Amino acid sequence: MIAILDYGSGNIRSAQRACEKTGADVVITSDFKTALEAEGLVIPGVGAFGSCMNGLRAVKGDELIKERLDLGRKILGICVGMQVLFSESDELFNGERISGVGVFPQKVEKISAPVLPHIGWSEIESNTDSGSFADLNGERFYFVHSYAVKTEVSGATNIGCSYGENFVAAIETDLITATQFHPEKSGVAGLKLIANWAASL
Amino acid sequence: MSLATRIIPCLDVSNGRVVKGINFKNLVDAGDPVEMARIYSEEGADEITFLDISASVEDRKTTLDVVSATADEVFIPLTVGGGISSVFDVDQLLRAGADKISVNTAAIKNPNLINEISERFGAQVLVISIDAKRGRTESGFEVTTHGGRNSTGIDAFTWIEEAISRGVGEILLNSMDMDGTRAGYDLELIRRVREISSVPVIASGGAGDLDDFGKAIESGADALLAASVFHFGIYRISDIKRDLSRKGFTVRQNSTLRQN
């Protein structure tokens, strides 16, 4: 079973449907136990980093993520759902700097580009052909963001992208897959990524 | 460059049905927005826009069902505009499966709506739709409503700058001088808006020939929206992308991965 964490963040219907297409049972939940025990947990996320973190903490999502990792259970973070895994973001919320869950020490920074948000389909540069990114090198994915991780995440497979400058489009470790883009909005390529991930559960 | 220029078909929807739907060979029901969206997506549309032109609030309720049914089947971004005037409307559409919302007249009447939507859902969900027309305001372009028939007296460039500072993620720039003419996008308008806009600009109004699309990109458009050329079957999305690609523009080609 795949659980999609419902913590008040935007459109999760597409994520649900994209996961269902893999043939998996999918549940949308904010229940800690259900989300902890699912084979795979999807953490969606749109909007401001700070409001996502507040929503995530309200359902104990920060503890949930750490506990799942301790238990060796997989997580897929999408967009701000990727960003929250890092230590902090430059995106201020009501003038304040908000901490992330801190699974990774890097911070989320504003992209330097003349036109922001980065909206649209950009090519990813992947030097892996395994795991969730099998068969996806050179495919285009749909991005909507102004902030991203810009330094390489050590201990993870890093998938790159460029818009104004280079940034981390996605990472993968044994337990964590996280994408700055929206696989659930990236047509056939996105569905392939989700199917790859679901097959690894 | 890595980012592809988006090609966005716009479907006018009224009371849950597509108005001006065309007859594709493989299309069972040309009035079904879900099926039209699916076909556009398979042809390589980078995004779909629904413009709700329902006359009444009652008719508009069916839009939520259309959005849900589309989001369930079509895995590309979906923007919905037309008649949206409150945070509640936006919330309902996002929950139904829309990714972005475009507002027009309601934001002119109440500019604070932009701040409210943006603070609640993030600026990236909000597209400000502007019906610009040559007029007597300072920049020479004026904001109009009701399909260009009504003047507002507001300068288009002043309004764009204000909307960006209040918090919008994109500008949908409709040229009311070129709309429906199929004589080409308004390149002067696109060029001048590109100069002042820090957010992506979607050009709309006037697409007729294949050459028009490339000219709009050269003038600074980040995305190209069209309705008539698709509705009337003049070009398929794949025709436009093939032509742009041949001319050296970056577009997203259909994935070679098999759809299943």
Residue type at position A53: M
Q: Which of A98, A87, A43, A83 is nearest to A168 (CA)?
A: A83
**Distance between alpha carbon B141 and the CA centroid of its chain, in Å?**
20
B67 part of contact set with chain A, CB < 8 Å:
no
Q: In what order do the strands lie in the sheet with A147-149?
A: A88-89, A107-110, A147-149
Q: How many residues does chain B have?
A: 260
B170 part of contact set with chain A, CB < 8 Å:
yes
Interface probe with A: pick from B2, B43, B79, most Cβ of A within 10 Å: B2
Q: Which of B71, B199, B223 sits opposite A14 (nearest CB)?
A: B71
**For the domain that residue B158 is a member of, what is the CATH number?**
3.20.20.70
Domain count along chain B: 1
Q: Please identify every residue of B annotated as catalytic.
A: 12, 131
Alpha-carbon gap: B149 to the closest alpha carbon of chain A (Å) = 32
Of A192-196, B198-202, B231-235, B250-254, least confident by mean pLDDT is B231-235
Percentage of residues of chain B with pLDDT beyond 90: 74
Per-residue pLDDT at B181: 87
Query: Is the alpha carbon torsion for A139, A143, A148, A154 positive or negative?
Result: negative
Per-residue pLDDT at B260: 42
Per-residue pLDDT at B228: 81
Indicate yes or no: CB of B95 within 8 angstroms of CB of A13: yes
What are the chain A neighbours of B99 within 8 Å (beta carbons)? Answer: 11, 14, 144, 185
A187 part of contact set with chain B, CB < 8 Å:
yes
Q: Which of A63, A73, A148 is nearest to A102 (CA)?
A: A63
Residue B228 neighbours by CB distance under 10 Å = 18
Residue B71 reports pLDDT greater than 90: yes
A93 part of contact set with chain B, CB < 8 Å:
no
Determine how β-strand B100-103 pairs with β-strand B78-81.
parallel
What are the chain A neighbours of B94 within 8 Å (beta carbons)? Answer: 10-11
Q: Containing domain of residue B171, as a range? A: 6-246
pLDDT digits (tens, 9 = 90+) for A112-168: 999 999 999 999 998 888 899 999 988 999 999 999 999 999 999 999 999 999 999
Alpha-carbon gap: A72 to the closest alpha carbon of chain B (Å) = 30
Q: Is A182 a catalytic residue?
A: yes
Mean predicted lDDT score pLDDT of chain B: 91
Report the alpha-carbon distance of residue A195 to residue A132 in Å, rounded.
8
- Across the range B204-209, mean pLDDT stands at 93
Residue B24 reports pLDDT greater than 60: no
Q: Is A52 a catalytic residue?
A: no
Per-residue pLDDT at A130: 84
- CB burial class (10 A; 0-12, 13-18, 19+) of residue B242? middle
Task: Please provide the distance, in angstroms rounded to a whole number, between the alpha carbons at the two ends of chain A.
Answer: 9
**For the domain that residue A24 is a member of, what is the CATH number?**
3.40.50.880
Six-digit token pair at A68? 């799942």
Alpha-carbon gap: A192 to the closest alpha carbon of chain B (Å) = 8
Q: Which of A14, A120, A188 sits opposite B4 (nearest CB)?
A: A120
- Across the range B74-94, mean pLDDT stands at 94
**Distance between alpha carbon B45 and the CA centroid of its chain, in Å?**
12
B220 part of contact set with chain A, CB < 8 Å:
no
Domain count along chain A: 1
Per-residue pLDDT at B256: 67
Six-digit token pair at B60? 């508009």
Residue type at position B151: S
B252 located within any domain = no
B109 located within any domain = yes
Q: Beta strands of A90-138 (E only): which ranges? A: 107-110, 118-123
pTM (predicted TM-score): 0.95
Q: Containing domain of residue A121, as a range? A: 2-199
Per-residue pLDDT at B27: 56
